[in-house]
Amino acid sequence: MELGRAFLLQIYYFMRLTRALEDRTRTLFLQGRIVGGVYTAQGHEATTVGAAMALRDGDCIVPQHRDLGLHLVRGVSPRAVMCQWLARGNSATLGRDGQLHIGDMHAGIVPMISILGESLPVASGVALTMKMRKRPGVVLATCGDGATSTGAFHEAMNFAAVQRLPLVLIIENNGYAYSTPSSRQSALQHLSERAKAYGLPGESIDGNDVLTVFTTVQQAVERARKGDGASIIECRTFRVRGHSEADKADYVPEEERASWLARDPIHSFEAYLMQKEILTMETKAEIEASIQREVQDAVAFAEQSPLPASETVADYVFAPDGPIAIIGEPGATAPSYINAIDCRTGQPFNIVRKAEEAIGR
């Protein structure tokens, strides 16, 4: 498929915007203006942006903490990102969290779960809902190489395969689960080979080639949209910085780092666009200036936004009085979630029936 000039420049813009926002976030952290950990994804831009560009309206993403590119392409604004990092009262988490643990269910963005891999059963659940409601949407979920060693990964992908769910999983294999190299966590040459265990198609690609990522994910997304089930795509990439800004990543051999830096995804795509005469020095300067204005505006907006009011410190920490109080079934030796009492009405509450009603069965 021939991709138009405007589309290719849009990809380039989102890749550059992702890195510029993360560079500024890192600077703010080093200046002590961001409290807590900062997790960046320099080197992942081709994987996250390329994958997101393959989606349509009505699709859903279940991202992880290194997926700023996914958020931006799906409509999260730089202002919203900076308000979140600076823990402002108008942020997605109302200042309760300073990470990319954000989402917008109306926009089809499911907030991530910090225990990496645990978001995947949620992604399968969302995909099941789409299938049962006969919606044409597709779920794009991501995880790192380390998460593929968890039970949640197995459960989610096995379920997705059996149910033929419209789910595409991206494994962002940057070679290290924190400091543990892939060779110490799996005997497989390519993590995409795990797909064979579930009867799913799996493919391992260059995650630093944004057009390869886009075309591969687009094919998997359209396959899922037609009802042909889930897929696993392993994007081989590199995390330039440590697991967090507190991690010096001195466990990465220098020759390995140098090899990946020479294949920087943004520089490689920029060279391609220049060679095709799609990007000129003038256009590049215009894009750079526009991005810098956006980043500066986002920081200024966030810093002028109010911090959470001190009197609200306990708000949203504990759940309000819940609707369900568990009781045991007659003769049961342990509590059962199947039969419960709705605390608001005192009437029996059948969770299975309510769940079926919610998904339209």
Weakest-pLDDT range from 51-65, 90-104, 174-188: 90-104
Cβ(148)–Cβ(218) under 8 Å?
Answer: no
Average model confidence (pLDDT) across the chain: 89
d(CA 186, CA 198) in angstroms, rounded, equals 17
Structure tokens at 337: 């979630």
User: Measuring CA to CA, which residue among 121, 123, 120, 152 is closest to residue 137?
Assistant: 123
Q: How confident is the model at residue 105 (pLDDT cuts 50, 70, 90)?
A: confident
Q: Both ends of the chain: CA-CA distance in Å?
A: 39
Contacts of 349 (CB under 8 A, 6+ apart): 323, 324, 339, 340, 341, 342
User: Measuring CA to CA, which residue among 91, 83, 181, 167 is closest to residue 131?
Assistant: 167
Taking each helix axis from N to C terminus, what angle separates 78-85 and 5-30, rounded to the nearest 10 degrees? 20
Taking each helix axis from N to C terminus, what angle separates 210-225 and 5-30, rounded to the nearest 10 degrees? 110
Average pLDDT over residues 153-161: 97
Q: How confident is the model at residue 326 (pLDDT cuts 50, 70, 90)?
A: very low
Domains for the chain: give ranges and CATH numbers. 5-312 (3.40.50.970), 324-358 (no CATH)
d(CA 267, CA 62) in angstroms, rounded, equals 28
- Our measurement of the distance from residue 177's CA atom to the centroid of its chain's CA atoms, rounded to an integer in Å, reads 16
Q: For the whole model, what pTM was predicted?
A: 0.87
User: For tokens 């949640």, what's the residue?
Assistant: 152
pLDDT at 54 over 60: yes
Cβ atoms within 10 A of the Cβ of 175, count?
17
In the chain, where does DSSP find H-type helix? 5-30, 45-52, 68-73, 78-85, 119-132, 151-162, 210-225, 254-261, 265-275, 281-304, 351-358
Give Cα separations from 258 to 238, 254, 255 (angstroms): 11, 6, 5
pLDDT tens-digit series, residues 164-220: 999 999 999 999 999 999 999 999 999 999 999 999 999 999 999 999 999 999 999
Average pLDDT over residues 256-268: 96
pLDDT tens-digit series, residues 208-230: 999 999 999 999 999 999 999 99
Q: Note the residue count of the chain.
A: 361
**Per-residue pLDDT, 333:** 45
Q: How confident is the model at residue 320 (pLDDT cuts 50, 70, 90)?
A: low
